[in-house]
Structure 1
Amino acid sequence: MTITSAPTTRGPAALILLARLDSRRLPGKGLMDLAGRPVLGRAIDRLRRCRVVPAMLLATSDRAVDDDLEAFARAEGIGCFRGDASDVAGRCLAAMEAHGLDWFVRICGDSPFVDPEVTDAVAEAYLADPTLDIATNVFPRGYPIGASAEAVSRPALARICAATQALEWREHVTAWAYEHAADFKIRNISPNHSRYRGLSIAVDTPEDLARARAAIARLPDPTDATLAEVVTAYA
């Protein structure tokens, strides 16, 4: 896949969606039906509205259990990189190296209501300051779980991977940087209110999937719905 460069001197970038099919709490969740589209497909539909970083790349594991995820990504017209199942930071770094990316925006594939405007705001914050290592909306979290986005430079991710081999850190990609924030330049993006705190619109359990199905039935257009509209549908 050819990665489209972001309109910046900071170089080529992509939205990297992270997914695998053997989740302990809800196995196969990424390809489960959500109003006629898989959960991962709903995320892709919404992310196609992103302006700042239009390219998408699925990063999944190299195990046979995730073959169907690769097939789905190819059918959707987005690239797919396969790497270590547990070392997610290493998988992301290898995906960046394989596709010549200078930075990426991390998105969880179990986020069918990920918001393109919020994702763009994180990417724009990263681009606005060429000295940043990470722009994020989870440090501290002000947006719902399921609307997370993190823009990470390749050098910053390489530093994280060089700093620790412990999977409890590398599984969460950026956790080491947040724990050692004095060693990284990080900017957090937060909403101007506290209404989203403590909310989740991700799909991680059977109960989450049931809630997502109920919420999406209340949305006239799930692809174009704003984050506020999605949260209201969950209420």
Structure 2
Amino acid sequence: MELRLGTRTSGEVGRGTNGRLVTRRGAESGSGDGGTGGSGDFEKNVRVILQSRVGSTRTPGKALADLGGRTLTEQVMFRAEAAFGRPGILAIPDSPENDPLEALARRRKWDVFRGSEEDVLGRFAGAVERFGPKVVVRVTGDNPFLAPEAMRGVAAGVVEGADAAQARGWPYGTGSEAVRAELLIQAAREARDPYEREHVMPFFYRRPDRFRLSYFDCPYPGAGKIRLTVDTPSDLDRARRLFARFGASVSIQILIRELSIL
């Protein structure tokens, strides 16, 4: 996918062959002079932070469940690595039950940050302070069909000058979000609402007067109606069937096409 990086305009801030980046600018921005560097800096400035945990109310232990020969968490890592060609950062709770996730991440050469189970925003801010990325792409451990093009698209929106970016209209469970890393530290200092601390990005979406927001739109009509996340045991069973049929590297285009006609 071709991405034009390091440029800023009003309105539309970038275009790739697999979607559109549209920025909505507020009256006040949290970003000073904007972008985080040109295209040559893209890979080194961007890190994926994957939030995961072993505890799950609806599907206990799903993070370590087998999915096509890897754990669910490893499949998410695999898709993230496909987007940026490097390991990311795993942000997990500091309770002992999550030790297997840390061991798994170390085997895949991922960095690990451990913090509060409930305060996920604080966990992200701590990971930023420790590892120093400029742009963070946030993904969650229940999405083994992440779209690499969406991850790169939201990252490009922030590299080009937005404060935060969201993939919009993609199948549920394949999108991602990005944010300027320093703003995660700012949000962790300011946020008081438990919802914002648990879900990380609403702090920015609720304040469009403060932050430049960018959207990377899915180019496939109706794709947003397709569900590919793993929340429940039936979701996990379905994901296993899809992996058995299409494999771990299946493109989002193929999944959308096949699931739209089933």
Match among 104, 117, 129 for residue 97 of structure 1: 129
- In structure 2, what is the Cα distance between the partners aligned to 1:177 and 1:113? 25
1:68-147 matches, within 5 Å, as: 68-129=100-161, 132-137=162-167, 141-147=168-174
Which stretches in structure 1 are left out of the alignment for 5+ residues? 1-5
Q: Which amino acid aligns with 2:61?
A: G
Query: Which one is further off, 88-97 or 144-153?
Result: 144-153
- Residue in structure 1 matched with residue 74 of structure 2 by the alignment: 41
User: 8 Å contact 1:15–1:54 — kept in the other structure?
Assistant: no
Same amino acid, percent of matched pairs = 32
User: 8 Å contact 1:8–1:127 — kept in the other structure?
Assistant: no
- In structure 2, what is the Cα distance between the partners aligned to 1:55 and 1:209? 24
Which stretches in structure 2 are left out of the alignment for 5+ residues? 1-38
Quote the offset at 1:176 in angstroms: 1.9
Q: Which amino acid aligns with 1:159?
A: Q
- In structure 2, what is the Cα distance between the partners aligned to 1:158 and 1:10? 21
- 1:144 alignment partner, SS class: coil
Q: Deviations over 1:40-61 (max 9, x none)?
A: 111122222224x734111001
1:212-231 matches, within 5 Å, as: 212-219=239-246, 221-223=247-249, 225-231=250-256
User: 8 Å contact 1:11–1:103 — kept in the other structure?
Assistant: no
Answer 1 or 2: higher relative contact order, Cα 8 Å, separation at least 6: 2
Q: Deviations over 1:95-137 (max 9, x none)?
A: 00011222211011111111112211221222122xx211221
Q: What's the TM-score once normalised by structure 2's chain length? A: 0.79
User: 8 Å contact 2:135–2:158 — kept in the other structure?
Assistant: no
Q: Deviations over 1:68-114 (max 9, x none)?
A: 11011111221111011111111000000011222211011111111
Q: Deviations over 1:6-40 (max 9, x none)?
A: 94289733111110011111111111011211111
Q: Which amino acid aligns with 2:45?
A: P
Q: Which amino acid aligns with 2:254?
A: E
User: 8 Å contact 1:142–1:191 — kept in the other structure?
Assistant: yes
- 2:56 alignment partner, SS class: coil
Q: Over aligned residue pairs, what C-alpha RMSD do you find? A: 2.0
- In structure 1, what is the Cα distance between the partners aligned to 2:112 and 2:127? 9
Q: Deviations over 1:143-168 (max 9, x none)?
A: 12211211111232233223322322
- In structure 2, what is the Cα distance between the partners aligned to 1:74 and 1:9? 24
- In structure 2, what is the Cα distance between the partners aligned to 1:13 and 1:20? 23
